[in-house]
Chains A and B, each alone.
Chain A
């Protein structure tokens, strides 16, 4: 469809101070579009967890949010180390985060399951030493 809205963000890696800025901006944009609070919240949680992951696990990446008539799609793409075992990474509590990350309030291994829980579909493609691409959809 030609009238899809697309928001695109460069997510800086290893800059924890700014981690989450893209998600804050997306939340603002979605509020301006007048979408319902529950939908915005689900998108916000999924994107924020994914954005934090790109910062702490992959050295940054690109985030794209597409708003169409029927759904909101969140695409997160990075050139990080990749995920060896996606099934394992999806398990609640599984995390390779460092102690430093934990002291900052993240790294409990809840991110990927939480992203799945808050979206209607989620697809992960990942190649070791190449990167990770996550596509999530929330239906409107």
Chain B
């Protein structure tokens, strides 16, 4: 799914790296636990989260994720935006809850990150 399509579906504000809205993501992972992101994401997925701190961006960076979507209108600070910019990671913010945002993307065809053991 194109990142710009996700932005439309979630009615999200783009916080940085608009120039990468044309990129595609192939799966998604939603959670507030960065340990789980580091342990379970196996492909270059989009991260949906309600957690806002620099480790969210560093975690996404470690996992080669190209897009982070913050739910419940949460917004990262300038320092975090700077870090994401430096690495071309698109960040967006949506008013939806984690459940609704994930459900919206899923029902529009974006699958979850490959489940372990499958």
> Which residue in A19, A21, A45, A109 is a CB contact (below 8 Å) of B38?
A45
Task: Determine if B73 is an interface residue (Cβ-Cβ < 8 Å).
Answer: no
| C-alpha spacing A41/B51, complex, angstroms | 23
Task: Determine if B53 is an interface residue (Cβ-Cβ < 8 Å).
Answer: yes
B71 → chain A closest CB, angstroms: 14
Task: Determine if B14 is an interface residue (Cβ-Cβ < 8 Å).
Answer: no
Hey, what's the 0/1 contact readout for B16-34 against A, CB within 8 Å counting as 1?
0000000000000000111
Q: Max chain B CB contacts within 10 Å: which of A19, A23, A24, A109?
A: A24
> Which residue in B53, B61, B63 is a CB contact (below 8 Å) of A24?
B61
Task: Determine if B13 is an interface residue (Cβ-Cβ < 8 Å).
Answer: no
Task: Determine if A110 is an interface residue (Cβ-Cβ < 8 Å).
Answer: yes
Closest residue on chain A to residue B40 by CB atoms: A110
CB-CB < 8 A to B54: which residues of A?
A: 17-20
A119 → chain B closest CB, angstroms: 14
> Which residue in B39, B56, B83 is a CB contact (below 8 Å) of A105?
B56
CB-CB < 8 A to B51: which residues of A?
A: 104-105
CB-CB < 8 A to A19: which residues of B?
A: 54-55
Task: Determine if A58 is an interface residue (Cβ-Cβ < 8 Å).
Answer: no
Task: Determine if A27 is an interface residue (Cβ-Cβ < 8 Å).
Answer: yes
Closest residue on chain A to residue B31 by CB atoms: A105
Task: Determine if A114 is an interface residue (Cβ-Cβ < 8 Å).
Answer: yes
Q: Is the CB of B62 within 8 A of A23?
A: yes
| C-alpha spacing A16/B64, complex, angstroms | 22
